[in-house]
A and B are shown apart, each in its own frame.
Chain A
Amino acid sequence: MQNVQTNQAPVVRRSLLQSLGVDIQLITMLVALVGVWILFQIWSQGTFLSARNLWFLAVQTAVVGIMVGGMVLVITARQIDLAVGSVLGFTAMLMAVGQAPVVENLPGLGINWVIATLIGIAVGVLIGAFNGYMAAYWSVPAFVVTLAGMMIFRNAAFSVSNVTISQLDEKFKILGGGSIGALWTIVFGVLMAIFVVWQALSNRLRRQKHEFEVRPLWAEVTVLGVTLAIIAAFVWVMNAYPIPNTNIPSGIPIPFLIALAVLGFLHWMTRSTRFGRYIYAIGGNPEAALLAGINVKRTMVYIFMLMGFLTGLAAAVQSARLNAAVPSLGRDLELTVIAGAVIGGTVLAGGSGTILGAALGALLMSSLENGLGLVGVPTEQQKIYIGLVLLVAVLWNTVNAKRRKL
């Protein structure tokens, strides 16, 4: 620091990780994920990393993946949403009752599945708006508002119908279990690869032009190489799993694609838009945000509405995958989603959390569930392991945050 004259890109000695320019949190998450995968691969004698299992893992991750990014924003703004599991159940029931031909042995409403789905999602958004309004404008702690919502909407789901609504629309089912086929999967992979390379290149050139700090070239190449390898492996695995009883490759499952799109959008939104910036500002220092002229209350309402939207979307995917809605759908899901966000590095005190981290957190959670099931750990014991992982993750985050601050 001694030889720094101005704020022109200073010459500072950097550790290996700093040079890579990747959050240490993200690296730990990736290492943990790879570790868990290898462990289950050995434990399950080679079934965990089979194309078939990974394809199902992708499908299983989708619902939490869709919701976890929203929860990151809620928690980052120093709020919490405990109602999402119940709201998922309630909106799924609305969507199902709307479109099913038969409800409780009577003819159903027979609403077009698209409209039924949109109604369900709209109800999710409205519930979110209400939660946000209560928390922001009436200063009711979000914990209490959404705890009430958790009770209310679970029973509201049972009030819609207390039996399983099955036989949903064929097209609706694609949301939960369809896949895009080999060709589109390859197209997707190629487009992603081009996008990633273009993004890295244009960023680097632009930063160099302005004489900002840039990563060393080797670091840039390493990060890019790893990203491209992940994309290639993903495409290969998704196409290696054939549609059952055929030789036709499945390709990327639609629910996973939806989750990817949601997470990609949220990642962009948090880093590149005012709304995203304000969420972090509110979480970091609500008073400073207010004094800077940010409309804190309105921003909070929008955050909860976004969470409601994602919950509705996840409800569609979940019920489409089951080809049924049950009023108990999504029970305890709020805890899984919060756990995913926290494992992914979101700090409950607010102000800190990344979409990428939470995405990996969600993947780690579903990997644990999937893997433990695969090796025959009984369901009633699985949560012990998951709970322990959550504990370790939080401990690690806390230690890390302290070290970074000093």
Chain B
Amino acid sequence: MNPLVEMKNISLRFGGNQALNDVSIDLYPGEVVGLLGHNGAGKSTLIKVLSGAYKSDSGRIFVDGNEVKINNPQDSQKHGIETIYQSLALADNLDAVANVFLGREKVNGVVLDEDTMEIEARKVLDRLRVKIPSLRVPVANMSGGQRQTVAIARAVYFKAKVLIMDEPTAALGPEETQKVGELIKALKAEGVGIFLISHDLHDVSDLSDRLTVMKNGRVVGTVNTKDVNEDEVLGMIIAGTTPKHLVNK
């Protein structure tokens, strides 16, 4: 089976800072890969390369086995890659409908087709089983969980094959965190591949099938979640060493 996404030998330098150094990572359908590392390890930079926000200096990206060029967010979306950013995802002053369709509004000629967009947004939010009192108030007035759901609805509506979630539960309470966890499992069951980025091991260990740990712009290692214990993963994050029993794997 071809990986959904394969990033090979990605490097990116910002001035004197080697943000990504020969990074390779892959993701299979229906799989959740947790991307771990300290702040500044390069996790966010890596996914921004995949989502088209940054352009790498070198390296190749494959989607479904075919090499693709991702120069901007539209390219990434075209290949079915959707990104949910921790705090950057929504325009707070716009309502839920506008946010779900932002950048890809439905139009009749030049006029926004608000009715269709509202119907579709309502459908997808119902499907995610989330109660949002009004789709027509600015999302600034919503709870963290509701806002995150709007962001996820956006990805789901546009039939993401690959979902990148950057710290999806960082701003959420326990109940809402659980809710997002259920959403992730549901999407996974539908065959969506998910990159889950976090600096907190607990956030991702329950949900992910594999873990990729980064440090100082390099990949320390990629392991099956069930093969490792917490201390070993912490060792990878902090010391940058792969557990001994996995070294030759």
Contact = CB atoms under 8 A, between A and B. Distances in A.
Contact of B93 (A272, A290, A294, A351): A351
A280 B133 CA distance: 23
Interface residues of A, number: 34
A266 to B, nearest CB: 14
Given A6-B126, A213-B134, A292 B73 contact: yes
Contact of A291 (B53, B92, B122, B141): B53
A405 B93 CA distance: 10
A225 interface: no
Contacts of B72: 293
A290 B54 CA distance: 12
A365 B141 CA distance: 32
Given A210-B119, A281-B94, A287-B88, A4 B133 contact: yes
Contacts of A284: 91-94
B245 interface: no
B140 A405 contact: yes
Given A291-B83, A293-B77, A405 B131 contact: no
A289 B92 CA distance: 11
A90 B110 CA distance: 34
A171 interface: no
B69 interface: no
Interface in A211-233: 212-213
Contact of B91 (A206, A210, A281): A281
A284 B88 CA distance: 11
Contacts, number: 98
29 contacts: A1-B133, A4-B131, A4-B133, A6-B126, A7-B122, A10-B133, A12-B134, A210-B115, A210-B119, A272-B111, A273-B110, A273-B112, A274-B107, A277-B98, A277-B102, A277-B105, A281-B98, A284-B92, A284-B93, A285-B88, A288-B88, A288-B102, A289-B91, A291-B53, A291-B85, A291-B89, A293-B104, A294-B102, A405-B141
B90 interface: yes
Contacts of B92: 284-285, 351
A274 B119 CA distance: 18
A89 to B, nearest CB: 34
Contact of A294 (B85, B103, B131, B136): B103
By DSSP majority rule, is chain B's interface helix, strand, loop, or mixed? Answer: loop
Given A10-B134, A289-B103, 16 more contacts: A206-B115, A210-B115, A213-B136, A272-B114, A274-B110, A277-B94, A285-B90, A288-B89, A289-B91, A289-B102, A290-B53, A291-B53, A292-B103, A293-B73, A294-B103, A351-B92
B22 interface: no
Contacts of A285: 88, 90-93
Contacts of A1: 131, 133
Nearest to A269: B110
Contact of A290 (B73, B94, B105): B73
